[in-house]
Each structure stands twice: as structure tokens, then as C-alpha cells.
């Protein structure tokens, strides 16, 4: 992350609101292990949002090389196949965001110097973790909900990668945790796997997640 802009204006979002910057990592950028089309376009949009929030949380996918979600660890399987694991269906992904690699690093141009917390997820070998609140077994938590409640945060604004997986699962779990949730559509990009984007928006809408744009949010 680069240095803050000198003489930045004070935050304009309410103090009970937090920005969740989800998985803005090289693994999800063009050329990464699991590239999201146009994924790098989210970085300047997020950089415009960040100064308006006093509370910022960043998340990182942080997988061991032998992670159960990697197709390479399932002989005879290919990326994007689906298998059944003890916790349910699991898409098998290309190897991405392996701990300590450049692929797992946050984008160099992401500017969030005052972020108070970095949540790493997906580091348990035997369970995947899309949501920044609860892992795919739906019982193992990251502790984020407790942290936000302890800080008096009642509303999260979500941005990052990818809309139809980590952003959507996080937004749904935010609602389940009793938080208001807003997704900034132009600050996200999707993987789009067999209709996953449309399904994600439908699921989020049904759960009461608000869909907005950066211009509408900042009223510019």
C-alpha cells in the first residue's frame, strides 16, 4: 500500500460505518493465479472511497499450497470442477494467493494507510473461506463480526473481488450478523461462473443488501 495523500480531507461517512476492502490482491488481477476480468480497475475506485471512511478493514485470501480448494491437489480434476467435501459443494480453483507469494500480496497501488485491521482467510487447509466473516463450513468464524460489534460499527460498505464470491458471501454474512450492508458495484468485479453473478445479486437483494455506485455513495 502506498503512502496517504498529504492534507487529505476528513472522513465524511458516519462513524458507525466501516469500509470492507475485500481481496484486492495480485492473485485476482490480470496475470494472477485466479484472474478476475478487469480486476485491476477496482483499485482507483476504492482509493477514492477510502479517505471518506474513518474505519477500514482489509481482507486477504491466504492459502497454504496444499489447500483443499485447489484443483492441483485433486488428481484427475480440473479448475472449476465441483466436488463434494464434508462441508458441502466446493468449486476447485486454480492455485492462487499462496501464503507469502507475490500472488497473495495486496495491490501496490491500493491506498488505505489508516486501515485498522487486516483479516486473512482461507488459511485452514481443509476448508475454503469466501466470506470475511464465516468460513465455508459455516461454523468457523474469522472474528470480524465480534470486532465490528465491539467497535460500535453497525453498517459495512463492501468493495473488492470478486462480486459473486467473496464480496457476496461477506455481504450476506454481514446481514446475518445484524449489520446493514451496502455493495459498491463499480468498486467490484465478478468471476462469473455459470450465472454466479446474477445469483449473487439476487441473493444479496433478498437479504436486504443495498446495491449502489461510488458516485451515489459519495454524492459526487
Q: Nearest CA to 50 among 78, 28, 94, 18?
A: 18
Q: What is the DSSP letter of 18?
A: E
Give the integer Cα–Cα distance in Å for 51 and 195: 34
CA dist 119 and 115 (Å) reads: 11
**117 with 150: CB under 8 angstroms?**
no
Of 158, 157, 161, 65, nearest in space to 107 by CA: 161
CA 25 centroid distance within chain: 10
The label of the residue with cell 459498491 reads 184
Pairing of strands 180-189, 155-161: parallel
What is the spatial distance between Cα 193 and Cα 82, in angstroms, rounded to a whole number? 11
Active site residues per annotation: 23, 121, 166
Amino acid at each position: 500500500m502506498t503512502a496517504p495523500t498529504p492534507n487529505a480531507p476528513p472522513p465524511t461517512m458516519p462513524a458507525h460505518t466501516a469500509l470492507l476492502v475485500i481481496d484486492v490482491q495480485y492473485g485476482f488481477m490480470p496475470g494472477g493465479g485466479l484472474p478476475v476480468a478487469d480486476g485491476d480497475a477496482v483499485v482507483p475506485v476504492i482509493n477514492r472511497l477510502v479517505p471518506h471512511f474513518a474505519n477500514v478493514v482489509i481482507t486477504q485470501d491466504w492459502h497454504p499450497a496444499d489447500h483443499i480448494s485447489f484443483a492441483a491437489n485433486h488428481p484427475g480434476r480440473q479448475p472449476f470442477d465441483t466436488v463434494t467435501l464434508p462441508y458441502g459443494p466446493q468449486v476447485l480453483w486454480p492455485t492462487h494467493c499462496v501464503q507469502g507469494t507475490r500472488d497473495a500480496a495486496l495491490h501496490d497501488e491500493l491506498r488505505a494507510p489508516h486501515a485498522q485491521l487486516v483479516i486473512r482467510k482461507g488459511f485452514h487447509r481443509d476448508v475454503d473461506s469466501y466470506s470475511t466473516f464465516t468460513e465455508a463450513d459455516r461454523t468457523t468464524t474469522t472474528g470480524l463480526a465480534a470486532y465490528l460489534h465491539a467497535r460500535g460499527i453497525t453498517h459495512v460498505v463492501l468493495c473488492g473481488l470478486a462480486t459473486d464470491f467473496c464480496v457476496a458471501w461477506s455481504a450476506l454474512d454481514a446481514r446475518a450478523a445484524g449489520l446493514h450492508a451496502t455493495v459498491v458495484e463499480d468498486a467490484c468485479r465478478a468471476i462469473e461462473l455459470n450465472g454466479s453473478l446474477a445469483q449473487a445479486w439476487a441473493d444479496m437483494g433478498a437479504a436486504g443488501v443495498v446495491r449502489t455506485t461510488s458516485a451515489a455513495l459519495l454524492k459526487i
